[in-house]
C-alpha cells in the first residue's frame, strides 16, 4: 500500500481517491473544533493561502476521539471552520485515528512515522511522491512548519 491507494470520504460522504493529490505536497491533520488547539485552524489557513498555488494541500480529518472535542455533524464542523477561521482547504469525514476502529489511512501514516496519535492537530507532511516525510506533534504551531513545507515544494 502507498498513500495514493487510499480512498477516504469527504465531509459530504463522497469517496475521494487520494491519487487525486498525486504530485502535491500534503499536510494531513486530525482536527477538532472544541479543543484548546482549535485556533491552529488560523495558522493552517495561512499556510494554505501562502503555498496552495505552489502545489500544497491540507487535508483536514476531524476526529472526536480525544475528549469528544469534535462534536456535531460534518456540516456543523465545516460551517464552524469556514465561519470562524475562513478555511478553504478540503475537509473530510470524521474519523478515528487510534485503536481498532482507526481509519486505514491513519494506520498507514502511523506505520510510516510510528507512534500513537497523542491528541488533536497531529500533522503529517507528505512529499510530492506520496511519501510521509515528517510528523509534527499537536503542539507544533502551523507557522513552524513553513521551512519543511518550502523544502518539499522545491523538490521535483
Show which residues are catalytic.
35
Kindly report the backbone phi and psi dihedral angles of residue 10, in degrees, each rounded to the nearest multiple of 5, phi listed first.
-75, 180
Residue 28 cell numbers, joined: 494531513
Helices (H) and strands (E) in the chain, counts: 4, 6
In DSSP terms, which residues pair with 124 in a beta bridge? 28, 135
Q: How far is CA 116 from CA 64, 81, 107, 127, 133, in A?
A: 15, 26, 10, 21, 17
Amino acid at each position: 500500500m502507498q498513500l495514493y491507494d487510499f480512498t477516504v470520504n469527504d465531509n459530504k460522504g463522497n469517496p475521494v481517491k487520494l491519487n487525486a493529490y498525486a504530485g502535491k505536497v500534503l499536510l494531513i491533520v486530525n482536527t477538532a473544533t472544541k479543543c484548546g488547539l482549535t485556533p491552529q485552524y488560523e495558522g493552517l489557513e495561512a499556510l494554505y493561502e501562502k503555498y496552495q498555488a505552489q502545489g500544497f494541500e491540507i487535508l483536514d480529518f476531524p476526529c472526536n476521539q480525544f475528549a469528544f472535542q469534535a462534536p456535531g455533524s460534518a456540516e456543523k464542523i465545516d460551517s464552524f471552520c469556514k465561519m470562524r477561521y475562513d478555511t478553504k482547504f478540503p475537509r473530510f469525514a470524521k474519523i478515528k485515528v487510534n485503536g481498532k476502529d482507526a481509519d486505514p489511512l491513519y494506520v498507514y501514516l502511523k506505520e510510516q512515522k510510528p507512534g500513537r496519535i497523542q491528541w488533536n492537530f497531529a500533522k503529517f507532511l507528505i512529499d510530492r511522491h506520496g511519501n510521509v516525510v515528517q510528523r509534527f506533534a499537536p503542539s507544533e504551531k502551523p507557522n513552524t512548519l513553513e521551512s519543511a513545507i518550502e523544502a518539499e515544494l522545491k523538490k521535483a
